């Protein structure tokens, strides 16, 4: 009788264990189902860099805050949408990794790895997002050249009426809208550059103030110059009535990727990522 009880008890433990494993497997499968991913209500966005073939992305952020990388199913690359699919977390090659987040080191660096549905050769960077992010936004087309001979003069607020050192229009949008960078002459030790979004309806200004230094003002070894040629608009989005910008900035040792959102006449920084790319 004791043997029967022992046998019965063992079978019950085995049955419960199997049921629990099945339940866990079911939950795991549910989390990775496409419809479940699409129903993630939180807006998710992460920056990444592309490989040399431009058919894969690794996220710049590798910390534990990225709990559901598979939720990121679209890549915004150079103002174009490309389907993305999470593959795995790529482990670091401790022998060959040189610590740089560049296409040349792509195969060796640690990070969340995504494959792209098609090649995208227009940029080295991507903003990966989930369906909830895209559901509220549309992409605004723009040109890097003034194809329609738009008027480039701006009516800036009075506080920016100071001598201009350098300026450059970096994006031309429909409806006589443009984005411009302006660097002002240094006043005492105060350096200032601004990004201006100007349309017939509004002017939005993002300030880049800095303490002047002839070696490094806005970034390391910039020589006291803002470096407009290393500043680029990657993508422009409309979020209802608000404008959002994806920008890249290169410095002597690396690059910054920034997501900006319109807020009360200026732009708030919502997301920023840094990549180290200094030459060997």
**0.85 exceeded by pTM:** no
Above 70 in pLDDT, residue 202? yes
Across the beta sheet with 266-276, the strand order is 138-139, 231-239, 242-250, 254-263, 266-276
Helix (H, G, I), strand (E, B) or coil at 173: strand
Q: How large a percentage of the chain has pLDDT more than 70?
A: 84
Whether residue 97 lies inside any domain: the answer is yes
Residue 33 scores a pLDDT above 70: no
Residue 127, domain member (yes or no): yes
Would you say residue 101 has pLDDT above 50?
Answer: yes
CB contact set of 183 (below 8 Å; sequence gap of 6+): 164, 165, 166, 167, 192, 193, 225, 226, 228
- Looking at 102, 135, 168, the residue that finishes a domain is 135
4 vs 91, residue with greater confidence: 91
> Residue 15: its pLDDT value, please?
44
| Domain count within the chain | 2
Question: What average pLDDT is seen over the chain?
Answer: 86
Return the closest-CA partner of residue 129 out of 75, 80, 58, 79: 75
CA separation (Å) from 184 to 160, 209, 225? 9, 10, 10
Mean pLDDT, residues 58-69 taken together: 86
Asked if residue 187 belongs to a domain, the reply is yes
pLDDT-derived band at 150, boundaries 50, 70, 90: low
Percent of the chain at pLDDT > 90 equals 69
**Looking at residue 200, what DSSP letter applies?**
S
Residue 121 has pLDDT above 90, yes or no: no
Please give the pLDDT value at position 83: 97
Integer angstrom CA distances of residue 176 from 133, 147, 245: 27, 11, 18
More confident: 31 or 49:
49
Indicate whether 78 belongs to any domain: yes
Least confident of 80-94, 115-129, 141-155, 246-260: 141-155
Q: What is the pLDDT of residue 122?
A: 84
Same domain? 195 vs 263: yes
The answer to the question of residue 177 being in a domain is: yes
Name the residue with tokens 């990794």.
Answer: 97
Tell me what pLDDT residue 183 has: 96
Question: Per-residue confidence at 149, pLDDT binned at 50, 70, 90?
Answer: low
| Secondary structure E strands in the chain | 45-50, 56-59, 74-77, 80-90, 111-116, 125-129, 138-139, 164-173, 177-184, 190-198, 203-211, 231-239, 242-250, 254-263, 266-276
CATH number, domain of 67, equals: 2.40.10
Same domain for 267 and 170? yes
Q: Where are the alpha helices (H) located in the chain, listed in sequence order?
A: 2-32, 34-38, 131-134
Residue 243 lies in domain: 158-276
165 shares a domain with 272? yes
Question: d(Cα 181, Cα 227) in Å, to the nearest integer?
Answer: 10
Contact 271, 256 (CB under 8 A): no
- In terms of domains, do 111 and 47 share one? yes
Say how many C-beta atoms besides its own lie within 10 A of residue 214's C-beta: 10
Residue 29 has pLDDT above 70, yes or no: no
Q: Which residue has the tokens 């807006």?
A: 43
Whether 40 has a pLDDT exceeding 80, the answer reads: no
Compute CA 134 distance to the chain's CA centroid, rounded to the nearest angstrom: 14
Question: Which whole number is the average pLDDT over 220-225?
Answer: 89
- Do 251 and 196 lie in a common domain? yes
Q: Are residues 57 and 162 in the same domain?
A: no
Element (H, E) at 214: none
Q: Summarize the confidence of residues 189-198 as an average pLDDT.
A: 96
């Amino acid at each position: 009788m004791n043997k029967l009880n022992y046998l019965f008890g063992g079978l019950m433990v085995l049955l419960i264990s199997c049921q629990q494993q099945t339940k866990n497997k079911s939950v795991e499968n549910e989390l990775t189902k496409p419809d479940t991913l699409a129903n993630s209500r939180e807006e998710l966005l992460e920056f990444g860099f592309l490989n040399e073939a431009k058919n894969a992305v690794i996220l710049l952020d590798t910390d534990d805050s990225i709990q559901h990388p598979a939720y990121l199913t679209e890549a915004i690359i150079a103002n174009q949408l490309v389907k993305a699919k999470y593959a795995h977390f790529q482990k670091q090659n401790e022998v060959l990794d040189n610590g740089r987040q560049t296409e040349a080191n792509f195969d060796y660096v640690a990070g969340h790895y995504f494959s792209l549905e098609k090649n995208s050769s227009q940029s080295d960077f991507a903003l990966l997002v989930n369906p909830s992010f895209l559901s509220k936004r549309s992409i605004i087309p723009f040109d890097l050249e003034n194809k329609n001979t738009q008027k480039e003069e701006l009516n800036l607020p009075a506080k920016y009426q100071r001598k201009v050192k350098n300026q450059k229009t970096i994006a031309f949008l429909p409806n006589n809208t443009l984005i411009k960078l302006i660097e002002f002459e240094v006043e005492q030790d105060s350096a200032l550059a601004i990004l201006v979004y100007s349309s017939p309806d509004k002017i939005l200004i993002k300030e880049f103030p800095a303490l002047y230094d002839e070696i490094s003002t806005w970034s390391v070894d910039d020589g006291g110059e803002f470096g407009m040629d290393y500043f680029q608009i990657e993508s422009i989005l409309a979020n209802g009535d608000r404008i959002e910008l994806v920008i890249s900035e290169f410095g002597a040792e690396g690059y910054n990727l920034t997501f900006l959102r319109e807020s009360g006449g200026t732009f708030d920084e919502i997301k920023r990522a840094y990549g180290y790319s200094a030459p060997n």
